[in-house]
Amino acid sequence: MANKNHELDKPIIEAAKIEFLKNGFQATAISNIAKKAGVTTGAIYTRYKGKDELFYSLIEDFLEALNREVKDNRASYMNYRTDKNFEDFLKNIEKETARYIDLLFEYYEECKLLLCCSKGSSVEAMFDEMMKNKIFQTKTFIKENIDSDISEMKLDLVELLMSQQFNIYALIIKKGYSKDETIEYVKMLGEFIGAGWKKIFNEFIK
């Protein structure tokens, strides 16, 4: 078998990113990517099994960075089990939000691919699944470490609050805010988010 021409890797990746961002996963054809990259469709299929694998390769680094961040944040929140310091808990939320904003702009196009262009791909539901997993872990943490008798209604309020936090990131991408605009936007919303968490801890979790 002939060796792949690795000089073609970059134009294929760049063309794929342009086409997927412009048209979305479903409406993008491998033939159009090949045409824009100046290669044959065969050159793409020797590198990727199909359109889905090519799409995933474009966001893989972003997903790995996101998973590392999730693990780091989980370790930070676990400190609450011992120190019971709510102010530190809020600071962790602020720190987590700031880091996610950094990641969002570090991998802006990749994030846009995932949130806005992935319909029909194998990763279409990935963001929602990550959100649901994070919410489940938080609710479990509260029940196991803060209030074992907390009602389902109160846990639903936790889910509602966290869902709004996740929706912030999707809205930022869809609206096309700059990083400065995003920081200001999140700062204003942070007052509401912080107030929500305070209400949960001060009134619901007893």
Residue type, 6: H
- Distance, in Å, from the CA atom of 199 to the CA atom of 193, rounded to the nearest integer, reads 10
- Distance, in Å, from the CA atom of 203 to the CA atom of 194, rounded to the nearest integer, reads 14
Residue 167 has pLDDT above 90, yes or no: no
- Distance, in Å, from the CA atom of 94 to the CA atom of 63, rounded to the nearest integer, reads 21
Residue 84 has pLDDT above 80, yes or no: no
**Among the ranges given (52-56, 120-124, 155-159), the one the predictor scored with the smallest mean pLDDT:** 155-159
Cite the DSSP H helix spans in 38-151: 41-45, 51-77, 80-83, 86-106, 108-116, 126-145
- Distance, in Å, from the CA atom of 49 to the CA atom of 1, rounded to the nearest integer, reads 17
Cα 96 from chain centre: 12
What pLDDT, on the 0 to 100 scale, is given for residue 80? 66
Residue 2 has pLDDT above 60, yes or no: no
What would the pLDDT profile of 88-131 be if each residue is shown by its tens digit? 777 777 777 788 888 888 999 999 999 999 999 999 998 888 88
Which region, left, alpha or beta, applies to residue 24 given φ > 0 means left and ψ of -120 to 50 means alpha? left
> What is the pTM for the complete model shown?
0.80
Given a contact cutoff of 8 angstroms between Cβ atoms, the answer to whether 89 and 197 are in contact is yes
More confident residue, 5 or 179: 179
